[in-house]
């Protein structure tokens, strides 16, 4: 299942807290079975967050306001996968809405993107076998949330290239990964973006 954004249109873009964003758009998304993170599991996750919390990182931008996560809905989305280097200096910033940072963390890119009201999100990639166990899955999500906070990012793009069989143990683990990541990120970074892209394969004679 591959998440793909629907048609582009004109309208306002994402904004930092205190700035409005408008416009109505349509988008296609993969739909995975939804389930709320149960209270004990959520309490455990929040306890891990508290234990792992560290002193806030210093804002790398000249304007501290650029270190605030962006929020708000966009009428369309143009997602760019940045793998490092200086190609970002040549992006058409009037069209890009989100950058998935697949390369090394680049604070200069982050500041420039936020100055243009463009989100920068983490790449979320983890072996399926590492998220089967609920405790391991939660710990991985907590690590990603804390990394996003330290780097002043706006969310995460779950991009798992490993294919899973439909209705397999890994399939249901991915379902929980999406649900739990969304709940914890939205709680810890209000307005953050969580997107996913997975591959599934059907079992024989399914």
Check 161, 165, 188, 196 and give the catalytic one: 161
Residue 73 falls in the annotated catalytic set:
no
- For the residues of 182-202, what is the DSSP string, one character each? HHHHHHHSTT-EEEEE--EEP
> For residue 99, what are the β-bridge partners?
80, 120
Report the distance separating Cα 148 and Cα 29, nearest Å: 23
Q: What share of the chain is helix, strand, coil (3-state, %, to 5)?
A: 35, 15, 50
What strands lie across the sheet with 193-197, from one edge to the other?
A: 79-82, 98-101, 119-124, 155-159, 193-197
Q: Tell me the residue length of the chain.
A: 206
| Residue from 56, 69, 64, 52 nearest 152 by CA | 69
Catalytic residues: 161
């Amino acid at each position: 299942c591959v998440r793909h954004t629907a048609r582009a249109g004109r309208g306002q873009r994402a904004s930092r807290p205190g700035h409005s964003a408008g416009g109505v758009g349509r988008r296609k998304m993969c739909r995975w079975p939804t389930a709320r993170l149960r209270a004990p599991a959520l309490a455990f996750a929040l306890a891990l967050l508290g234990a792992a919390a560290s002193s806030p990182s210093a804002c790398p931008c000249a304007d501290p306001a650029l270190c605030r996560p962006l929020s708000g809905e966009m009428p369309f989305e143009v997602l760019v996968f940045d793998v490092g280097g200086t190609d970002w200096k040549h992006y058409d910033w009037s069209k890009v809405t989100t950058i998935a940072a697949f390369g090394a963390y680049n604070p200069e890119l982050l500041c420039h993107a936020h100055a243009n009201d463009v989100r920068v999100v983490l790449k979320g990639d983890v072996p399926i076998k590492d998220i089967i166990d609920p405790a391991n899955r939660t710990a991985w999500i907590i690590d990603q949330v804390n990394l996003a906070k330290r780097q002043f990012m706006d969310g995460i793009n779950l991009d798992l290239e490993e294919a899973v069989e439909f209705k397999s143990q890994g399939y249901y683990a991915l379902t929980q990964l999406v649900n739990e990541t969304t709940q914890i990120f939205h709680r810890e970074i209000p307005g953050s973006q969580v997107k996913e892209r997975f591959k599934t394969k059907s079992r024989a004679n399914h």
